[in-house]
Structure 1
Amino acid sequence: MIRTALAAAAFSLLAVTGALANPGSQDPAKVPAGNYVLDKRHASLLVKVPHMGGFSKFTMRFDRLDGSFAYEPATWATTKVTITADPTSINTGLPDFDKTIAGPSYFDSAKYPAITFVSTKAEGADGKGTVSGDLTFHGVTKPVVLDVTFNGVGPGMMGAGTRIGFSGTTHLKRSDFGVTTMSQFAGDDLDLLFEVEFVKK
């Protein structure tokens, strides 16, 4: 009887917590001003590359991301977001191959220890838009455009703090950044998919 009551109470608490944590608005003007940092536990960056002409898209993940920005609702379109990925954190599910990808033949992470994106402008409405910026990868900086969905702003767990979330994609050619090794086995076109959440400090 006691166990059943405790289970019911826990379920009720989880239900209330979930309701409190739902995004409340997709309007960037309703995001509170302040400094935001990436919630690293709720951030992912996947890279898909065609294998041998397109039999499949080999998928990799960066396990270590970081990022932040200062936000002002009146000037949200010029918010400067900085995101970094640690190239040594590449995860293919094959540990030996991870070392090869991070090594001098591909990412050359000893020489280029960070992959960095710095935004220059944002555009959009109704939760959909683009974020333009400069991507520095393998020692080369190129402009890129991200297709982004603003998933919304709302309270954090137990109603504490402010949390915002985004989903997005972009498309790159690795040869534009000087990564051309093993081109007979891996395609030039990369699809990037990301899911990120930021919390207000």
Structure 2
Amino acid sequence: MSTETWTLDATDGGQLAVRTDVAGRASKMGHRLTIAMTSWTASVEWSGDTPTAVTLTAEVTSLEVVHGEGGLTPLIGPEKIVAKANALKSFDADRFPSIRFRSAKITAVDAGFQLAGTAEIHGVSREITVDVNVIDLGDRWHIGSETTVRQSDYKITPYSQMFGAMKVVDEVTVTFDADYRKS
């Protein structure tokens, strides 16, 4: 049986992103953000047609605020810089510079695979299950995933201001999209 390792990263056009929402009495003032991790690497080990291990590492300091919806004013350069600084502070990026995922069990499902493993965020390791969709596009495979993560599960205090009248919702959505070219 042949073995193979796929390596995916942001340079291949893949994206690892976090989408936030806002809550509180003054939530109309806040932006729902899309934050992209611009430095990440995923590795998929295969035995024949079966993935046997998946790992992903993202560098927290590589985060960039790429989009913001809502708010009283458009999210432009200076506001993006402030939002990035707030996110880096929430992540405590100096102490916890990386986010990691390592699969422990991979199960084939209709649309692709279900990965059960450990996510390490902010120095806290927790078991997590992630559904990964895999689509054959002929010359390449498209891999996509969307999962919800609760910041407080990883001892991250969601950003807030105005004494909590405007705050980031505890649950954020993590998305992953990448293509792997067939040989």
TM-score range, shorter chain: 0.7 to 0.9
Specify the alignment match of 1:131 in structure 2. Answer: 115
* TM-score between the two structures when normalised by the length of structure 1: 0.69
Matched-pair identity in %: 24
- Aligned letter for 1:112? F
Instruction: Label 1:45 to 1:39 Cα distance change in 2 as closer, same or farther (>3 A).
Output: closer
Which of the residues 94, 107, 120 maps onto 2:91? 107
**Aligned-residue offset at 1:200:** 7.5
Q: Which residue of 1 aligns with 2:171?
A: 189
**1:144 maps to which of 128, 139, 145:** 128
Aligned AA (1:52)? A
Alignment RMSD: 2.6
Larger strand share, 1 or 2: 2
Aligned equivalent of 1:83? 56
Tell me if the contact between 2:86 and 2:159 (Cα under 8 Å) persists in the aligned partners. Answer: no
Could you say which structure has the higher helix fraction? 1
Give the number of equivalent residue pairs: 160
Paired position in structure 2 for 1:158: none
Paired with 2:45 and 2:108, the residues of 1 have a C-alpha distance of 19
Answer whether contact 1:168 1:194 (CA < 8 A) is retained: yes
**43-52 or 112-121: bigger deviation:** 43-52
2-structure distance, mates of 1:154, 1:36: 17
Matched, 1:63 2:42: no
**d(CA) in 2 for partners of 1:67 and 1:45?**
10
Q: Distance in 1 between matches of 2:129 and 2:143?
A: 15
1:189 is matched by which residue type in structure 2? E
TM-score (norm 2): 0.75
User: Where in structure 2 are there 5+ consecutive unaligned residues?
Assistant: 67-79
SS of the equivalent of 1:81 reads strand
> Which stretches in structure 1 are left out of the alignment for 5+ residues?
1-28, 156-162
SS in 1 for 2:84: helix
Return the index of the structure with the highest Cα Rg.
1
Query: Is the 1:37–1:199 Cα contact (8 Å) retained in structure 2?
Result: no
Post-superposition offset of 1:99: 2.4
Q: Which residue of 1 aligns with 2:143?
A: 166
Cα shift at 1:171: 1.0
CA distance in 1, matches of 2:22, 2:146: 20
2:21 aligned with 1:35? no
